[in-house]
Amino acid sequence: MRQVGLCALLLAACGSTSSSSGSGSTTSGAAPARRACPHEASEPVPSSCIRASARGKLLKDDHAGGVRIWQACERDLIVDGAFVLERVGNGRDTSDQLAALATQHAKDLWKLGASQSAFGGCGGAPGDAPDGPEHDAGCIELGFTAHNQDVPGTADDLMRVFATAEDLCIPFRIDTGVGVMENVGR
């Protein structure tokens, strides 16, 4: 049952790779086509702690589990193999508090199979934070070198690692190791 949900999540995230005209095919070794990021028309409730331009299509909204997962976007393009997710909550931490939280749980993140974990940007378009860059607190980043396509399972694990009595929204960015993470001006 979980594998069927995972397949549906990945298909929704990656979209169709075929083209009706046939012009969308690529040769072996060619870079994947860059696709425009579809943004949600309305802000989720409670509001997200990940800026809107970093969030693409909403892939999972689990009210009971307190987690939301979106396609990751960078400069208004989908980043293949990357996702942003959040532990839903009403409170917000500063970037310094989130960086300390990432450091505090670094060993727990490595136990999940992450080859790297750090505090960094969530993505999105440069300069789009509504009240200036100080209001874009950033994300706890996880990178996997081996393919990790179980994003919902990783999200559940993150919710357990970062469980707290506080009503805080905690943002994450996951690179599954499937796509190519490009350094696009960070």
Residue 88, domain member (yes or no): yes
Phi, psi angles (nearest 5°) of residue 129: -60, 125
pLDDT at 130: 53
Report the C-alpha gap between 102 and 90 in whole angstroms.
19
pLDDT at 129: 55
Residue 23, domain member (yes or no): no
Backbone φ/ψ region at 38: left (φ over 0), alpha (ψ -120 to 50), beta: beta
The pLDDT tens digits for 164-181 are 768 899 999 999 877 544
Task: Give alpha helix (H) positions in the chain.
Answer: 2-14, 95-104, 106-111, 151-161
Are 9 and 3 contacting, i.e. CB atoms less than 8 angstroms apart? no
Residue 71, domain member (yes or no): yes
Residue 20, domain member (yes or no): no
Residue 166, domain member (yes or no): yes
DSSP 91: B
Looking at the chain, the number of H-run helices and the number of E-run strands are 4, 6
The pLDDT tens digits for 12-66 are 444 433 333 333 333 344 445 578 888 877 888 888 999 899 999 999 999 888 9
Structural domains in the chain (count): 1
Question: Can you give the residue range of the structural domain that contains 55?
Answer: 2-15+36-175
Q: Maximum Cα–Cα distance for the chain, whole Å? A: 53
Residue 46, domain member (yes or no): yes
Residue 28, domain member (yes or no): no
CA dihedral 3, 9, 10, 13 (to 10 degrees): 180
Q: Is the peptide bond before 44 cis (omega within 30 degrees of 0)?
A: no
pLDDT at 135: 52
Backbone φ/ψ region at 109: left (φ over 0), alpha (ψ -120 to 50), beta: alpha
pLDDT at 136: 63
Residue 181, domain member (yes or no): no
